[in-house]
């Protein structure tokens, strides 16, 4: 399909927002840019209404960790609890830049949402974000009575790098003592950054996300600087997979590299047609399905990376997000 017409009209604005490109600026400057772009993406309408929004502080592996609890307008006596990890390449983004996404999840599922402000690279490189997100998920289970109230309906979601973290935490919960999870919703996840996929080439120049910027993100996240080639990645770490110590095979970096994908929670995996991450996300969905995991996989035709954060700018993005959340809601009711 052609590029969504609403997004096609915004191509000059997207190009302007990436000038200079991320790889040419500092993480601090990139974070400021993301905050400015979040205001543009939200449009002129007020935030979508929810029942309540409460900032909280969670105990994290490295100290206090900020989070935000969103409750639905018409809360049942018990409902699902969804832990949300925002996108931003592990380097940018926060509770405020992704406030709209958290509200979308609440309104689309009726769940209580716990949005997590995990540590960012390069100040806190891998595996800090993984550790924080796992800790937040376990906190949610321990405090489920104060959240959605149903211990059988704890779920994870995230977009882009947040989708990566949701997939990774789901694997760790299975392997490292829980908690049990009811479902996972992954929006265009970073599933196998070091893999070789046609969409890495077809959509290398965006819009919105470029592979050059992905290299910048992952270089900072993995503590390697920027512009890192896959064949140069070697660190001292307890890596897992085909080569211990090689982050290319560590499933905490690329969840598709896990040699055991069985017994993971049912998944909704959403990809975008014009996204460089499209094919790795679809490969992860296929691998989950081959391992016996119930999967709903949808490619959002005409969509671009980060469309979940831009529903106010595109009717197509709003429709694709609505469908994804409806699929997720069905899993949460099982």
Q: Which of 86, 98, 200, 305 is catalytic?
A: 305
Q: Which of 41, 160, 161, 254 is catalytic?
A: 160
Distance CA 310, CA 299 (A): 17
Token pair, residue 283, equals: 């490969």
DSSP letters for 102-164: HHHHHHHH--EEEEE----TTTS-TTHHHHHHHHHHHHHHHTGGGTTEEEEEEEEEEETHHHH
Distance CA 151, CA 111 (A): 13
Pairing of strands 63-71, 112-116: antiparallel
Q: Is 8 exposed, middle or buried (0-12, 13-18, 19+ CB in 10 A)?
A: middle
Token pair, residue 57, equals: 């502080």
Q: Contact 310/228 with Cβ under 8 angstroms?
A: no
CB atoms within 10 A of CB 51: 12
| 305 is a catalytic site residue | yes
CB atoms within 10 A of CB 138: 19
Distance CA 66, CA 56 (A): 6
Q: Which of 150, 275, 279, 327 is catalytic?
A: 275
Distance CA 181, CA 321 (A): 22
| 275 is a catalytic site residue | yes
**How many residues in the chain?**
334
Distance CA 14, CA 208 (A): 6
Q: Active-site residues: which are they?
A: 160, 275, 305
């Amino acid at each position: 399909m052609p590029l969504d017409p609403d997004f096609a009209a915004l191509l000059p604005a997207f190009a302007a927002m990436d000038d200079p490109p991320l790889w040419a600026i500092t993480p601090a400057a990139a974070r400021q840019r993301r905050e400015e772009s979040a205001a543009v993406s939200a449009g002129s309408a007020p935030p979508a209404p929810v029942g309540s929004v409460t900032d909280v502080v969670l105990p994290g592996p490295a100290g206090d960790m900020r989070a935000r609890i969103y409750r639905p307008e018409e809360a049942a006596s018990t409902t699902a609890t969804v832990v949300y990890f925002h996108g931003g390449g592990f380097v940018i983004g926060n509770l405020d830049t992704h406030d709209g996404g958290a509200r979308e999840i609440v309104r689309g599922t009726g769940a209580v949402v716990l949005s997590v402000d995990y540590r960012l690279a390069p100040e806190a490189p891998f595996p800090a974000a993984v550790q924080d997100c796992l800790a937040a998920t376990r906190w949610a289970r321990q405090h489920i009575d104060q959240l959605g109230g149903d211990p059988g309906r704890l779920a994870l979601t995230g977009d882009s790098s947040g989708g990566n973290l949701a997939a990774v935490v789901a694997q760790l919960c299975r392997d490292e003592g829980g908690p049990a999870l009811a479902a996972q919703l992954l929006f265009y996840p970073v599933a196998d950054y070091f893999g070789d996929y046609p969409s890495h080439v077809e959509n290398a120049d965006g819009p919105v996300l470029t592979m050059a910027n992905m290299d910048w993100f992952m270089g900072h996240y993995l503590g390697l600087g920027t512009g890192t080639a896959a064949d140069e990645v070697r660190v001292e770490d307890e890596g897992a997979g085909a080569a211990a110590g090689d982050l290319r095979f560590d499933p905490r970096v690329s969840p598709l590299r896990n040699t055991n994908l069985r017994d993971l929670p049912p998944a909704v995996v959403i990809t975008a047609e014009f996204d460089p991450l499209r094919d790795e996300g679809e490969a992860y969905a296929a691998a989950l399905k081959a391992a016996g995991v119930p999967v709903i996989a949808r490619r959002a035709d005409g969509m671009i990376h980060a469309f979940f954060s831009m529903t106010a700018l595109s009717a197509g993005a709003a429709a694709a997000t609505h469908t994804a959340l409806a699929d997720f809601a069905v899993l949460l009711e099982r």
